[in-house]
A and B are shown apart, each in its own frame.
Chain A
Amino acid sequence: AQSVSQHNHHVILSEAASLELGCNYSYGGTVNLFWYVQYPGQHLQLLLKYFSGDPLVKGIKGFEAEFIKSKFSFNLRKPSVQWSDTAEYFCAVIGLGNTDKLIFGTGTRLQVFP
């Protein structure tokens, strides 16, 4: 069965610190990968996605993620976080085949202090 693991449940950083959130998935076939973000009181919105091509993908607000197929990983990074990055971050995958359901990780709550 497909699954997604996010190892960091709660991360606390100061502004300007670098961020890396881990995401690993379990699936035997081809996947599409996503990071969604949920700001306080707002809906889930797409941060970035990987379908194919360059495994280093860039998203909104200076975020990027790298797909490492051999490690089944899709870690999210940002070189310098801001207070406005305080949010919950969800990694998700779609196992390609006859499905389009998103399988989510448990989420990582990021708090950035000024």
Chain B
Amino acid sequence: EPEVTQTPSHQVTQMGQEVILRCVPISNHLYFYWYRQILGQKVEFLVSFYNNEISEKSEIFDDQFSVERPDGSNFTLKIRSTKLEDSAMYFCASIPGTGGRGQETQYFGPGTRLLVL
């Protein structure tokens, strides 16, 4: 069964450094998402992306964050200047995009655990 993959599985970085988290959504999927989970807290929506544009973003997704689909397979989340509070598990998800908005199951990747020191 096709799966969403994410790399790296773990990343440690210094505060102020840029990080890029990578995701490969399921191949025929058209909508992509990033979520994050700070340790001990809820999984929170960050951003959704369709047709090379952000379709929705949360308050968390400020100017320090950006997303990109640099080629036909990858979907990336960039944090320009990491802060301690960016330490979290980051999940990518995708859907086929053939149903109505909100009508499809989101398929999640295994996550990238980011630790900012």
Contact = CB atoms under 8 A, between A and B. Distances in A.
A63 to B, nearest CB: 15
Chain B: interface size category: 20 to 34
Chain A: interface size category: 20 to 34
Nearest to A3: B42
A102 B35 contact: yes
Interface string B86-117: 00000100010000011111111111000000
Interface string A88-114: 001010111111111111110000000
Contacts of A46: 105, 107
Given A51-B103, A106-B42, A100 B108 contact: no
A77 B66 CA distance: 39
Contacts, number: 57
Contacts of A102: 35, 43, 45, 106
A49 B104 CA distance: 10
Given A99-B56, A101-B45, A101-B48, A43 B101 contact: no
B56 A43 contact: no
Nearest to A32: B102
B110 A42 contact: yes
A96 B102 contact: yes
Contacts of B105: 34, 46, 49
Contact of B44 (A45, A51, A104): A104
Interface of A: 32, 34, 36, 42-46, 49, 51, 90, 92, 94-107
Interface of B: 3-4, 31, 33, 35, 41-45, 48, 56, 58, 91, 95, 101-111
Given A36-B108, A106-B41, 14 more contacts: A32-B102, A43-B3, A43-B109, A100-B31, A100-B95, A101-B45, A101-B48, A101-B56, A101-B58, A103-B45, A104-B35, A104-B42, A106-B42, A107-B43
23 contacts: A43-B4, A43-B91, A43-B108, A43-B111, A44-B91, A44-B108, A46-B107, A90-B43, A94-B102, A96-B102, A97-B102, A99-B56, A99-B102, A100-B48, A100-B95, A100-B104, A101-B33, A102-B45, A102-B106, A104-B43, A105-B42, A106-B41, A106-B42
